[in-house]
Amino acid sequence: MTDQSMKPFTVLLIGQAISLFGSSLTGFALGIWAYEQIGSVTVYTVIALANIVPVVLLSPLAGAVADRYNRKMIVILSQIAAIAITGALASLYWWQLLVPWHIIALVTLNSVFNAFVLPTISATIPLMVSKSNLTKANGMIALAFGLIELATPAIAGTLYANGGMQTLFLVDLATFSVGIGAVIITRIPQPQAKTAAASATDTQELSLLASIGEGYRYLMKAPALLGLVGFFSSIAAMLIAAGVMVQPMLLGFAKPDQMGQIMSFAGSGIIAGAAIMIALTNINRHMPIVIGVSGLVGVGLLLLPATTTPWMIAAGGFIVMACFPVIDSNNRSIYQRKVDPAILGRVIGLRNFVLGLAQCFMLLIIGPLADAVFEPAMAADGWLAPTLGPYYGTGQGRGIAVLISLLGALMLVSVALTLCSRRMRRLDSELDDVEIAVEETEPEQQTAMDAVAMAK
């Protein structure tokens, strides 16, 4: 493949990013609207979980579907379903019938369809770009997600304040049309089945459940990849827990406007890290980068919370946030280089399932740990105050700071354990790159065939 092969991927990414941006705006504003209606943080949290949990639980099934059916059709059907769900929400709002449980139910349904898009597109990337551009492509994805995450709160809040939910719904529907248009005009290739497992799936001799099992057995035969699933899941879980606790930690010594400035500057590190990945090509050894940069993040989380100097927190946060796209892009590239594209959807689905469970588990325990254990322990008369007080200080937010440092220490332990594994250290050379082969079937014909199969 030449650099020309990046163009179809770029068109697809831009279209999906615009569509996702519209959905993010609506989702953010719906949370505000629901909170204003009943003033319940619980409902706000349930809406957030409704957006996450189906993706986590359905990831293995979604990966099997991505490997079994035409990938272009999967994305198109998911986009059509999302348009219908947004239309239903808009209609209920227009007729003043919308209540929070409608939002929870429809957001959950939308998340079900979104679950099938993520592994489908991830599994298709190695068919659309050359190996030398894999980290570049994954860096572009990280850049798009980073921009959406940074821009959504401010833009959604402004649109909601000035135009209400109807404006957000219109924007969402418009962005959906861009997303589905990009999919329609882009050729999304199908992999050729080369492995026995993939061949059985493509001939539909296996049930979807059995197809998921094939993905599991594929990972079991590659212990280094299985170890990578566990390693990255632990790193991502600790990062999301630290991210949730940063805001209350900062409020312990900074005013709200100062906290916002610190978080905005630190968050912009995502853009810097993604830009680095886009600029780099021909990266052949990904694992040393994943391990080394994860270690750097661990050191940052261990040391930074001890300070209450705003500029140091902001600068350190920028570096930590810049590291995540680097870790994520190289992690994705390993799977895309080492796993047969015909079974890649299932492998990614299982990876996302383990990753999601780890993150959900961490989010469930981190709040109680902070509130019931570490914050009281770092109060002026707390049991940890005599030992850690001279380094962290005492009072509001200092227990959270200690807990974030503990997460950094655990991350360094995970890095050390990974370094102790020869297979993990040498994963790039231990596993051969797969040979990419694209199905010759015309996309229009294959789409029609798979539409009939999926309907059955």
pLDDT digits 0-9 by tens, 308-342: 998 999 999 999 999 999 999 999 999 999 998 88
| Whether pLDDT at 179 is above 80 | yes
**Cα–Cα distance measured from residue 439 to residue 323, given in angstroms and rounded to the nearest whole number:** 36
Asked if the model's pLDDT at residue 202 lies above 80, the reply is: no
Residue 140 half-sphere exposure toward CB, CA atoms < 13 A: 19
With CA atoms as reference, report the closest residue to 127 among 193, 75, 182.
Answer: 193
For residue 438, list its beta bridge partners: 191
340/438 Cα distance (integer angstroms): 11
Any idea where the domains of the chain sit in the sequence? 3-455
Q: What Cα–Cα distance (Å) separates residue 269 from each residue in 142, 152, 209, 318, 433? A: 11, 16, 40, 4, 31
Tens of pLDDT, residue by residue over 341-350, are 888 999 999 9
Give one DSSP letter per residue of 221-282, joined into a string: T-HHHHHHHHHHHHHHHHHHHHHHHHHHHHTTTS-HHHHHHHHHHHHTHHHHHHHHHHH---
Arithmetic mean of pLDDT, 286-297? 96
pLDDT in tens, 339-397: 988 889 999 999 999 998 998 888 888 888 998 999 999 999 999 999 999 999 999 89
The Cα–Cα gap between 161 and 169 comes to: 14
Q: What φ, ψ does residue 435 adopt, rounded to 5°? A: -90, 125
Q: What is the pLDDT of residues 11-62, one digit of tens each?
A: 999 999 999 899 888 988 888 888 788 766 667 667 777 888 898 889 998 8
Q: Is 283 helix (H, G, I), strand (E, B) or coil?
A: coil
SS3 state at 106? helix
3-455 sits in which CATH class?
mainly alpha
53 half-sphere exposure, CB direction, 13 A CA radius: 14
Residues 6+ apart with CB under 8 A from 360: 52, 53, 56
pLDDT digits (tens, 9 = 90+) for 399-454: 999 999 999 999 999 999 999 999 999 999 888 888 765 655 444 444 444 443 44
The answer to whether the CB of 122 falls within 8 A of the CB of 309 is: no
Tell me the mean pLDDT in the region 2-6.
56
Round the average pLDDT of the chain to a whole number and report it.
85
- Region 281-304: mean pLDDT is 93
DSSP category for residue 438: B
243 phi and psi, to 5 degrees? -60, -40
Angle at 369 between CA 365 and CA 372, to 5 degrees: 130
Chain-centroid distance, C-alpha 76:
21
Nearest alpha-carbon partner for 311 in 262, 276, 376, 374: 262
Number of residues that this document lists for the chain:
456
Two tokens, residue 348: 């990614």
User: What's the pTM?
Assistant: 0.80
CA separation for the pair 343, 64 (Å, rounded): 8
